Chain A
Amino acid sequence: MIAKGLFTQIIMLVVSVTIIVTFIQPKFVEITEVQDNIATYQQKRSEVLSVNSRLASLTSSLESVSSDDQRKLFDYLPDKVDSISVVRDLYLITNQAGLFYNDASFSGPNKSSANTKSENAYGDPEPYSFSLSVEGTYEQIKVLFALLESNNYPLEVRDLSLTKKEGGFLSADINLVTYAYDTTVNELDDRI
C-alpha cells in the first residue's frame, strides 16, 4: 500500500508534467511565433518607414523643380502629340528658315519603333511620324535643320532625301519623328 505522502508527491509530479506539456510548452511555441511576427512587423515597418521617408524626399525634390522647368519637360515629352500643332510648327519653322513650304503631314504613330521591345528600363516614349516637304537653298535647308534641332520638343530626322532642282534650289523630303510620354510603362509595378 502506497503511503499517503508518497501518493500526494506523485500526483504533484504528474500535475507538474501535465502543466508543462499542455500549457507551458505550447505557450512557449506560441510566444516564439509571436516574437517572430513582431520581428517581421518591425522589419516591414522600417521598410515602410524608409519608403515613406524616401517618398517624402523625392516629393520634396519634385516640388523644388520650378513650374517653368516642369512645363518645359511636359513640352518636350507631352502625354499626347497634337498632330495639328506639330504640322503648324513645321510650317512656321519652314517659313522662319525662309524655305518654300510644299507640304507637311502626320504619318501616324511609328509602329515599327513601337513594336520593338525597349532595352530601356524606363521604357521608350511613343514615336509619331511626320513628313515635311520643302524647297530652298542649301543654306536655308541647313537653317531649317538647326531650327528643328533647337525646337522645344524633339523633331528627329529619320529619313531625308535631298535632290537638286533647277536654279540652284534643292528639294527636301524629310521624315520626322516626335515623341509622347508612354503612359503604359507607369503601370508596371517593379520600375522603382
Chain B
Amino acid sequence: MADLSNSSFIPKQGPVKKRRRSASRKVYFFTMICYVAFFATLLGSAGVYFYGDLVDRQLEDEVIALNNEISSFSETDMQRVREFDLRLQQANDRLNKSASIVSIFNSLEAATINTVSLNSLSLERENDELFTMAVNIDTDSFDSTIFQREVYGQNNTVGSITIESLQSSGLDSSTLDDNDEEDGAEVSFIAEIEIPIDAVPYVPRRVTEPVSETVSAEEINEDSVPNEERAEEVNQNEL
C-alpha cells in the first residue's frame, strides 16, 4: 500500500522539533538606575523618618534633663551664698583700709624733738588714701623749726611735710648772737603733714586667738605705751 501521506497536495507539517528560545532579557542601565533610586529613596525615607524620631526623643530627653537640673538649683542657697560673699568682701575691704591713729601718734612722738610743743592738732582722712594733719607747733628758735621739719621729713610714716604760717615773737639780735634764747622767745608754725594710710595700717594684736568681747584699758595701755625712755621723751614733748 502506498504511503498516502506524501501524496497529498496539501503540505503537511512534519514533526518539527521546536527550538526552545533561550530567554535573553536585556537589563538596561536606565532601568537599573530607576529601580535602585526608587528603592533607595523608599529605604532612605524610612531611615530618615525613624532617625528623626530618635533624634526628637533625644531632644525631649535633653529638655527633661535640663529642666531637672534647673529645678534642682536652689535660689535660696544662691542668695545666701551671694549675700555672705558680698558681706565678706565688703568687710575685708574695710579691714584692708583700716588705719591706726595710735600708730600715727607713736610716729609723731618718735619724730617730735624736745624743744617743740604741740598746741593743737587736726587730722582728716581723705578717701581711704591718706591722712592730712595740721599740727600747730610752738618752739624756741628757727633752728628748732628747721630741725623739726627735717626730723618729720625723715620719718618713715610721713609722706610729706610742709611748714606754713611761720610766726615769731620775742626774738631780738642778742638771741641770735649768743645762741641763748630768751624765755619769752617763741616761734610758732603749722606743720602740714601727709601720712599715707598704707604707712599706718591697723594690725590686730592677737591674730590667732579669738577676739575677746571687751578689751580692758590696762591691756591696751600695756601695748600702746612706749618704753620708759621713750615715755620720758614723750612726756616732755606731750601736747
Contacts and interface: CB of A to CB of B under 8 A. Distances in A.
A114 interface: no
Contacts of A20: 41, 44
Given A123-B86, A162-B122, A186-B86, A143 B217 contact: yes
Contacts of A149: 98, 100-102, 202
Nearest to B223: A146
Contacts of A65: 84
Given A45-B69, A48-B73, A156-B125, A164 B119 contact: yes
Contacts, number: 212
A152 interface: yes
Contact of B44 (A24, A30, A31, A70): A24
A142 B105 contact: yes
B121 A162 contact: yes
Nearest to B225: A139
B97 to A, nearest CB: 8
Interface residues of A, number: 77
Nearest to B119: A164
B77 A55 contact: yes
B91 interface: yes
B62 A38 contact: yes
A154 B100 contact: no
A149 B204 CA distance: 9
Interface stretch (B49-57, B159-167, B174-182): B49-57
**Chain B interface, >50% SS class:** helix
**Chain A interface, >50% SS class:** helix
A181 B102 CA distance: 27
B31 interface: yes
Interface string B84-115: 11111111011100111110010000000000
B198 interface: no
A107 interface: no
Nearest to B94: A154
Contacts of B216: 96
Contacts of B44: 20, 24
Contacts of B101: 145, 148-149, 157, 160
A55 B90 contact: no
Given A5-B31, A12-B35, A38-B59, A192 B85 contact: yes
B185 interface: no
A158 B124 contact: yes
A26 B134 CA distance: 83
Nearest to B211: A152
A44 interface: yes
B179 to A, nearest CB: 29
A158 B127 CA distance: 9
A47 B45 CA distance: 36
A59 B81 contact: yes
Interface in B200-229: 202, 204-205, 210-211, 213-217, 220-221, 223-225
A80 to B, nearest CB: 13
Given A23-B48, A97-B217, A98-B217, A156 B120 contact: no
A123 B33 CA distance: 74
Contacts of B210: 68
Interface string B11-35: 0000000000000000000110111
Interface of B: 30-31, 33-35, 37-38, 40-42, 44-45, 48-49, 51-52, 55-56, 58-59, 62-63, 65-66, 69-70, 72-74, 77-91, 93-95, 98-102, 105, 118-125, 202, 204-205, 210-211, 213-217, 220-221, 223-225, 238-239
Interface of A: 5, 9-10, 12-13, 15-16, 19-20, 23-24, 27-28, 30-31, 34-35, 37-38, 41-42, 44-45, 48-49, 51-52, 55, 58-59, 62, 65, 68, 70, 72-74, 76-77, 96-98, 120, 122-125, 138-139, 142-143, 145-150, 152, 154, 156-164, 168, 170, 179, 181-182, 185-186, 191-192
